[in-house]
Amino acid sequence: MNNRFRRLRAFKTLRKMTAETALTSHDLVQPFFVIEGKGKKQAIDAMPGIHRFSKDLLLKELDAYVKAGGKAGLFFGIPSQKDLKAASAVDPKGIVPQAVKAIKKHFPDFLVITDVCLCAYMSHGHCGVVQNGKIDNDKSLPILAQSALVHAQAGADIVAPSDMMDFRIAVLRNKLEKAGLVDTCILSYAAKYASAFYGPFRDAAHSAPEFGDRKTYQMDPANSREALKEARQDIKEGADMVMVKPALAYLDIVSLLRRELTVPIVAYNVSGEYSMVKAAAKNGWVNEKTIVLEILTSMKRAGADIIISYHAKDVLQKFL
């Protein structure tokens, strides 16, 4: 009867020394939105503190992020030209390849992850080619692979396909191998759910679908076995890491994949999760610092090796 659990909680240093989970700068990835032009920094209404940057100002922002201890970024391109072929997604001089080249020149040690998808490049806003009102899986694959290739050729360390087409990891891996880019990692958005938590992102990236929704390619929030099926398949096809997205309402999935798989697991703390915290904090309803650290720590505790979060900069600059 001498098991007093409070002994280990009584002293701050001891609490820290016995903590089972710790959040560090190497766990975090900050997303960045890149636009064309010069001298541009656009605020995103639903995501206070997050902006779209033209390449020149992106480098300034990165400088501040790296100085705060930032190690990695996930880059989204928002092109001015959209069409039915996603032509700017495969342009070697496109927005992402240009940004990646500049980032790698100025910050060679910064880990560059690029989002590979067509939704921001297609005039209809879907993640693949639309044929007769449907999203055509196999016609989308060569465009996705070409897009990943131009990112990798520009120097991206990791390409991260978020489209949820079947077989895209195999096609991407093949394309990279054939081009001799054997060291480029693939982070698969493997368990990506059709989620209302992406709302603010679609405003930020101008990528809301013009018709219908993404339920024929993104996963049903009711399913967990399917996440394992998706992740196992992507690993077989050549993914180095797999992602669960969104994160907070899907910590059971993070935990499931961590237990069943050996590859690194990435959790994406998405735009809606960020905006809810920001809105509540602005109203004084929650304490931002404590709630952000609690949320991100819970993702690590669930088994995430890496967390992609819009809070990353604040965490490194102010909260840790």
Report, as residue numbers or ranges, the catalytic residues. 192, 245
**To the nearest whole angstrom, how small is the minimum distance from the Cβ of residue 27 to ligand PBG?**
17
Give the separation between CA 206 and CA 52, rounded to whole angstroms. Answer: 11
> Which lies closer to ligand PBG via its Cβ, residue 56 or residue 142?
142
Q: Which of 32, 198, 217, 250 binds ligand PBG (CB under 6 A)?
A: 198
Interacting span for ligand PBG (CB under 6 A) from 11-19, 77-85, 111-119, 136-144: 111-119
Cα distance between residue 15 and residue 10, in whole Å: 7
Residue, CB closest to ligand PBG? 201
Alpha-helical runs (H) found in 117-221: 137-154, 168-178, 199-204
CB of 188 to ligand PBG, least distance (A): 12
Please give the Cα distance from 209 to 187 (Å, whole number). 24
Q: What's the gap between Cα 52 and its chain centre?
A: 16
User: Nearest distance from residue 109's CB to ligand PBG, in Å?
Assistant: 25
Site string for ligand PBG, 143-172 (x = CB under 6 A): -------------------x----------
Are the C-beta atoms of residues 266 and 309 closer than 8 Å to each other? no
Q: Which of 27, 115, 234, 314 binds ligand PBG (CB under 6 A)?
A: 115
51 is a contact residue toward ligand PBG (CB under 6 A): no
Could you give the CA distance from residue 14 to residue 218 in angstroms, rounded to a whole number? 44
Closest approach of ligand PBG to the CB of residue 10, in Å: 40
Joined together, the tokens standing for residue 292 give: 């952000």
Of 29 and 127, nearer to ligand PBG (C-beta) is 127
- Taken in order 283, 287, 293, 294, the sign of the CA dihedral is negative
What is the DSSP code string of 112-139? EEEEE-STTTBTT--SSEEETTEEEHHH
With 0-12 / 13-18 / 19 or more C-beta atoms within 10 angstroms meaning exposed / middle / buried, residue 196 is exposed
For ligand PBG, the binding residue among 32, 201, 217, 250 (CB under 6 A) is 201
Query: Is residue 202 part of the contact set for ligand PBG (CB under 6 A)?
Result: yes
Residues 208-228 as b/e (b if ≥16 CB within 10 A, e otherwise) read ebeeeebeebbbeeeeeeebb
Q: Segment near ligand PBG (CB under 6 A), from 3-11, 112-120, 172-180, 247-255?
A: 112-120
Minimum separation from the CB atom of position 15 to ligand PBG (A): 32
The answer to whether 230 contacts ligand PBG (rule: CB under 6 A) is no
Interacting residue ranges for ligand PBG, rule: CB under 6 A = 115, 117, 119, 127, 162, 198, 201-202, 214, 270-271
